[in-house]
Amino acid sequence: MLLRARARSTGLRAKGFTWDQIADVLALDHGVSPLRLYRLAHGRTAAEVVSLVNDLDPAGTASLREARLYDFEAWPDGGRRPPARCLVALARIYQTHAARLVADETRMSYDVRDRELLDATDLRHLDENRSPAPCPDGGRRVSIEASAGAPHAESTVDASACMELLRVIGIEEADVRRRELLFELALAFGGTQALRLLRVLGPEEEQRLGRVVRSASRVDAQTVATFEKLTAYARELDDGHGPAAVLPAVNGQRNALAQILVRGSMPQALRGRLLAAYGQLSQLTGYLSYDLLDVAAAQRALNEGLRAALDLGDPTLIGYLHCWLGSMAAYQQRAALALDHAFAARGWVVRSPSRLLRALNESVLSDAYAAAGDATASARAHDNALRLAGDPKGEGDPAFLYWISPSMLDSKAAMSLVRLRQSVAAAQRTLIGLDPRFKLDRGFALGQYATALTLTREIPEAAARLSEAADIAAQHTSARLADQITQARAGLQPWSGSTYVSRLDKTLQARGLLRT
Q: Is 191 exposed, middle or buried (0-12, 13-18, 19+ CB in 10 A)?
A: buried
Contact partners, residue 83, CB within 8 Å, separation at least 6: none
Q: Is 343 exposed, middle or buried (0-12, 13-18, 19+ CB in 10 A)?
A: middle
Question: In this predicted structure, what is the pLDDT of residue 366?
Answer: 92
Question: In this predicted structure, what is the pLDDT of residue 57?
Answer: 61
Phi/psi for 96 (5° steps) reads -145, -175
Closest CA to 354 of 388, 307, 390: 388
Q: How far is CA 318 from the centre of its chain?
A: 25
Question: In this predicted structure, what is the pLDDT of residue 137?
Answer: 41
Question: In this predicted structure, what is the pLDDT of residue 292?
Answer: 92
Q: If DSSP codes are grouped into helix, strand and coil, which group holds residue 175?
A: coil
Contact 253, 302 (CB under 8 A): no
Task: Please tell me the pTM assigned to this model.
Answer: 0.71
Q: Is 394 exposed, middle or buried (0-12, 13-18, 19+ CB in 10 A)?
A: exposed
Q: Tens digits of per-residue pLDDT, 141-194? A: 444 444 444 333 344 555 667 777 777 777 777 777 888 888 888 888 878 878
Measure Cα distances from 129 to 13, 16, 49, 77, 114 in Å.
8, 6, 21, 32, 29
- Type of residue at 298: A
First to last CA, the chain: 42
Phi/psi for 322 (5° steps) reads -60, -40
d(C-alpha 193, C-alpha 181), whole Å: 16
d(C-alpha 482, C-alpha 201), whole Å: 34
- Type of residue at 310: L
Question: In this predicted structure, what is the pLDDT of residue 159?
Answer: 64
d(C-alpha 505, C-alpha 129), whole Å: 16
d(C-alpha 432, C-alpha 406), whole Å: 11
Phi/psi for 82 (5° steps) reads -70, 140
Measure Cα distances from 136 to 142, 194, 294, 323, 374 in Å.
6, 21, 10, 26, 34
d(C-alpha 431, C-alpha 446), whole Å: 7
Q: Is 264 exposed, middle or buried (0-12, 13-18, 19+ CB in 10 A)?
A: exposed
Weakly modelled stretches of the chain, pLDDT under 50? 58-61, 133-155
Q: How far is CA 200 from the centre of its chain?
A: 18
For helices 203-213 and 243-263, give the axis angle rounded to 10 degrees: 60
d(C-alpha 497, C-alpha 507), whole Å: 15
d(C-alpha 88, C-alpha 298), whole Å: 34
Q: Tens digits of per-residue pLDDT, 34-53? A: 999 999 999 999 998 998 88
Question: In this predicted structure, what is the pLDDT of residue 208?
Answer: 86
d(C-alpha 347, C-alpha 16), whole Å: 60
Measure Cα distances from 225 to 229, 231, 259, 271, 361 in Å.
6, 10, 17, 12, 28
